[in-house]
Amino acid sequence: SCGTTMVYPWDFYYGRIEARIRIGSGSGVVTAMLLLGPAPSDEIDFEWVGKDTTHVQTMYYVQSHRVDNLPEVFGAAQNNGDLSTTFQDYAIELNKDSVKWYLNGILLRTLNKGAQEFPSDASRARMGIWDGTQTSGWAGTVDWSQGPFTAEMQWFNFTPYC
């Protein structure tokens, strides 16, 4: 859980966060853009595992419980391949009855309220890079001799829905 995280300083209930991101690469390196609520946390996220720079993962949690047993994984080959060498636009849209994840304006996934547990209190935007070594192999193990490990964000936009 070691790494840098930028936190948007205000809570919101519904809206859209967007960012242009170049992910970090390397085993154990995890880049994340997410919405997180107060403990016990609801969470909605994009995560990129640095040992696989051609895919993006979407996940969500309700009261700190991961609802999807496995992340939804989307290939990026049609979107310029290696996500650690190019900037891509990502968005998460949280509505009263749905969550939508976008890559370069293309809808990747929709979660509708009522289908299963729904993250209704993910209220603060975050973006960061962290050490995923302790994730039971999911992210791999960081080899610190290969660092530094960086991710970049060219811009961030937040649009609240009233």
Catalytic residues: 43, 47
CA distance 31 to 128: 6
CA distance 88 to 117: 30
Closest CA to 23 of 91, 92, 83, 88: 83
- Cβ contact 54:75 at 8 Å: yes
Closest CA to 129 of 54, 12, 22, 40: 22
CA distance 18 to 90: 6
Closest CA to 100 of 61, 60, 65: 60
